[in-house]
Amino acid sequence: MYDLETSIEKLTSVGKTTARLLNKIGINTVFDLIYYFPFRYDDFSQIIKINQLLPNQTVTVKGKIILINNRRSFRKKITITEALIEDETGSIKIIWFNQPFLIKNLKTGDQVFISGRVEFDNLGLQFVSPAYEKAKKGQNLNTAKIIPVYSVTGRLTQKQIRFLINQALKSVKLIKDWLPNQIKEKHNLLSLSQALSIIHFPQNFKVLEQALYRLKFNELFLIQANNQLSRRYLARNKAAKIKFKEKEIVDFVKFLPFELTADQKKAAWQIFLDLEKAKPMNRLLEGDVGSGKTVIAALAMLNVILNKKQAVLMAPTEILAKQHFITLNKFFQNFNFNIILLTGSERILNNQAKIKKDEFQEIIKNGEADLIIGTHALIQDDLQYNNLGMVIIDEQHRFGVEQRKKLKEKNLNKTAPHFLSMTATPIPRSLALILYGDLELSMIKQMPLGRKKIITKLVAEKNRNQAYQFIRQEIQNGRQVFVICPLIDESDKLGVKSVKQEFKKLDKFIFPEFNIGLLHGKLKAQEKESIMLDFKNNKINILVSTSVVEVGIDIPNATIMMIEGADRFGLAQLHQFRGRVGRGGYQSYCFLFTDNYNNKTTERLSALVKSADGFALAEYDLKFRGPGEVYGTRQSGMPDLKIASLTDLDLINLTKKEAEEFFDKNNFKNFPLLKNKLEQIKIIAHLE
Ligand code: ADP
Ligand code: MG
């Protein structure tokens, strides 16, 4: 038996070359081998008598080799190995291609298992390139049962890896089973070592199911345990209670130029309830682009400021921060609030001139500033808040425990601010439970009344000129247009190459009469800002941009969103681009272009043409492409699910409930194995 940390080179029959191949697929130790799970199984468990064989069955026969030899096929220039095997009921022919060495292993008279599909041609039944194995006493790993199939590279063979995993599994009991017994018993779970053995070599599909369940349970429980711990950590902090200022809030809502939707009212109400508690609010407000999250933020901030506390609104970019600054100045024009804009390049107080660095630092510190809007500059080190009551983060999903700790420390009154995160990324329920299991969720699913549906079209290349003609008309009517381009290749991470080409084409050849702007991630913040400003002021007719085009930016006059290489983007992202138009009263359009016409792509893009529901599109994308591709594993803090999947909604819910209950009743310090595991995970998983 090997130690779990034993390097694979120490294993029987692993030479330097094999070791290198294994390292390539991430296998360095015995432990790694055990956790290298098959991606599918071949069911060779049915052993059939030769006279019972039927065409197209996948089965195993057991028999004696009565003849085996190689011959060259001159026409195809390959070696063909032919064999005949028999059992007590009959015989069957077998052929293999290009494996001349077979006759060294298999000899006339050997008892063998042959597993594979039975083929039928004019010569009768035969096996073509089946799996084979000598039917020795003891263990066979490659035939006559349910056989695991692994993803392998290079010259590594299935047989080799099965042989090695079988060796490694002799040490499986050394793996610590950290899931508390009470949970295992309650759900009748297999032991961890059982599950790990079975997932490689299952006796039948029923136990395989149980093994998979146990391993998925582990994975999801850990994530939820992590969520629970950070939730509990945050809840232990003291927050200032913010009273609901009913009269002022009701007046403010009356003064709005529109009626709030039912979802908006509900979300606002949930926030007001949270704010009244002495523990910090910890909430995610999720709503499609244009669903009206800003006004909710305004209501919450108003309530905080009326309670004589400061509020902070943080945006991912300077342009967005500026837009919020302008909007909120308007919203709060009848109040005597001090509103500050603070970004890397600008510092503004109310609608006035710019102020000096130490001046604004002073009024934030002494409490004169009521509302501070900005970018990441807001958590910079030399800033101190007098009595920060609430922090709102726009369009950024995660804001780690660490960052929140920092904000608390900057708060002179030493309370932890209430926290609200807002996002327009439609996140399916299952994913939200994993990514945001530590947050309460408010959702805005309705759009404000009177929004026109954006007409979406997948435009065939032959109709491109027609589309340009349509764009020309719209611009002549005073409207504006976005053109989005994808990356050309990986080396061009910011998509600068393609966006520049497109810009040149439109500027020189297609629309020489119009003003065209160019926006990409390599430009300086200042340049981006001035281009966006020109676009906003209609000095630019067409804005050609990479996907950096700011989420949340409001250009009510833009009516066409044209997307090149649409197949390169996820549906959720395309849906967000589309949300950039249709923000004013004008009928708006989204034109999708692609040079990839395979059925799957067309089908996927058609989903966008048909549906205006961001959540439905996100679910669809999740099924089609998987979460890593849709949301980006790294950026979104998406934990790397090895075996569970986001379609396991029931199990996600169950593990969340179990983790909640467990940490309600127990102190995890009394569970050393679990504690140990959680400490390991913290380093690699999503708790920032
Ligand atoms: P997002 O959720 O994408 O941040 P915004 O808050 O920017 O959306 O709102 C988009 C637009 O809709 C704004 O111009 C806002 O004033 C308007 N709006 C918000 N709520 C309503 C409503 N209930 N009825 C009509 N218009 C609304
Ligand atoms: Mg917004």
CATH code, domain with 305: 3.40.50.300
Residue 315 and residue 321 in contact, taking contact as beta carbons nearer than 8 Å: yes
Residue that terminates a domain, selected from 406, 423, 440: 423
Determine if ligand 1 sits within 6 Å of the CB of residue 290. yes
Determine if ligand 1 sits within 6 Å of the CB of residue 81. no
Atom in ligand 1 nearest the alpha carbon of residue 394: 4
Joined tokens for residue 662: 């467990």
pLDDT band at 685 (very low <50, low <70, confident <90, very high): very low
Residues 381 and 473 in one domain: no
Atom in ligand 1 nearest the alpha carbon of residue 444: 2
**Ligand 1 center–CA 290 separation, angstroms:** 5
Residues 362 and 406 in one domain: yes
Residue 534 and residue 560 in contact, taking contact as beta carbons nearer than 8 Å: no
Determine if ligand 1 sits within 6 Å of the CB of residue 261. yes
As a whole number of angstroms, the distance between CA 502 and CA 626 comes to 30
What pLDDT was estimated at residue 283? 93
What pLDDT was estimated at residue 217? 96
Which is nearest to 127 in space by CA: 185, 53, 187, 201?
Answer: 53
Specify the 3-state DSSP secondary structure of 575.
helix
* CA atoms lying within 13 Å on the CB side of residue 269: 8
What pLDDT was estimated at residue 32? 94
- The phi-psi region of residue 278 (left if phi > 0; otherwise alpha if psi is between -120 and 50; otherwise beta) is alpha
What pLDDT was estimated at residue 17? 86
Q: Where are the alpha helices (DSSP H) in 538-631?
A: 571-578, 599-610, 614-625, 627-631
Residues 401 and 548 in one domain: no
249 versus 404: the higher-pLDDT residue is: 249
Instruction: Tell me if 655 is assigned to some domain.
Output: no
Instruction: Tell me if 402 is assigned to some domain.
Output: yes
What pLDDT was estimated at residue 569? 85
pTM of the model: 0.74
Q: What is the pLDDT of residues 574-618, one digit of tens each?
A: 988 898 898 878 999 999 999 888 888 888 899 999 998 888 888
Residues 397 and 524 in one domain: no
What pLDDT was estimated at residue 14? 82
Count of domains observed in the chain: 3
Residues 81 and 138 in one domain: yes
Tell me which H or E stretch contains 558. Answer: strand 558-563
| Phi, psi (degrees; rounded to nearest 5) at 560 | -125, 130
**Ligand 1 center–CA 12 separation, angstroms:** 66
Q: What is the pLDDT of residues 198-229, one digit of tens each?
A: 999 999 999 999 999 999 999 999 989 888 88
- Given a cut of 90, whether residue 76 has pLDDT beyond it is no
**Ligand 2 center–CA 145 separation, angstroms:** 56
Determine if ligand 1 sits within 6 Å of the CB of residue 27. no
153 versus 369: the higher-pLDDT residue is: 369
Tokens 């070791």 belong to 19
β-sheet bridge partners, residue 558: 480
Residues 466 and 524 in one domain: yes
Residue that terminates a domain, selected from 611, 640, 666: 611
Instruction: Tell me if 117 is assigned to some domain.
Output: yes
Per mean pLDDT, which of 397-406, 482-491, 537-546, 563-572 is the most reliable?
A: 537-546
Residues 374 and 484 in one domain: no
Residues 540 and 466 in one domain: yes
Average pLDDT over residues 645-661: 88
CATH number of the domain to which 94 belongs: 2.40.50.140
Atom in ligand 1 nearest the alpha carbon of residue 450: 25
Instruction: Tell me if 327 is assigned to some domain.
Output: yes
- Given a cut of 70, whether residue 541 has pLDDT beyond it is yes
Q: Whose CA is nearest to atom 4 of ligand 1?
A: 293
Residues 255 and 396 in one domain: yes
Q: What is the pLDDT of residues 258-297, one digit of tens each?
A: 999 999 999 999 999 999 999 999 999 998 888 899 999 9
DSSP assignment of 195-225 equals: HHHHHHS-SSHHHHHHHHHHHHHHHHHHHHH
Which residues does 426 contact at the CB level (< 8 Å), separation at least 6?
286, 288, 572, 575, 614, 615, 617, 618
Q: Where are the alpha helices (DSSP H) in 370-487?
A: 401-410, 429-435, 464-476
Residues 464 and 332 in one domain: no
Instruction: Tell me if 103 is assigned to some domain.
Output: yes
Instruction: Tell me if 127 is assigned to some domain.
Output: yes
Give the type of residue at 578. Answer: R
What pLDDT was estimated at residue 634? 43
- Given a cut of 90, whether residue 378 has pLDDT beyond it is no
Instruction: Tell me if 653 is assigned to some domain.
Output: no
Average pLDDT over residues 637-653: 77
Which residues does 92 contact at the CB level (< 8 Å), separation at least 6?
50, 53, 61, 63, 84, 85, 86, 125, 126, 127
Which is nearest to 482 in space by CA: 433, 548, 411, 399?
Answer: 548
What residues sit around ligand 2, an ion, with C-beta below 5 angstroms? 552
As a whole number of angstroms, the distance between CA 545 and CA 254 comes to 39
Using H for helix, E for strand and C for coil, what is the string for 629-669?
A: HHHCHHHHCCCCCCCCCCCCHHHHHHHHHHHHHHHHHCCHH
Q: Which residues in 233-328 belong to E strands, given as ranges?
A: 282-287, 310-314
Atom in ligand 1 nearest the alpha carbon of residue 554: 7
Residue that terminates a domain, selected from 611, 634, 668: 611
Instruction: Tell me if 562 is assigned to some domain.
Output: yes
410 versus 275: the higher-pLDDT residue is: 275
| CA-based radius of gyration for the chain | 32
- Given a cut of 90, whether residue 492 has pLDDT beyond it is no
Determine if ligand 1 sits within 6 Å of the CB of residue 260. yes
Atom in ligand 1 nearest the alpha carbon of residue 287: 2
Q: What is the pLDDT of residues 15-49, one digit of tens each?
A: 888 899 899 888 999 999 999 999 999 888 888 99
Residues 495 and 361 in one domain: no
pLDDT band at 488 (very low <50, low <70, confident <90, very high): low
Query: Which domain does 99 fall in, by range?
Result: 46-144
Residues 605 and 483 in one domain: yes
Using CB atoms within 10 A of its CB, is residue 611 exposed (0-12), middle (13-18) or buried (19+)? middle
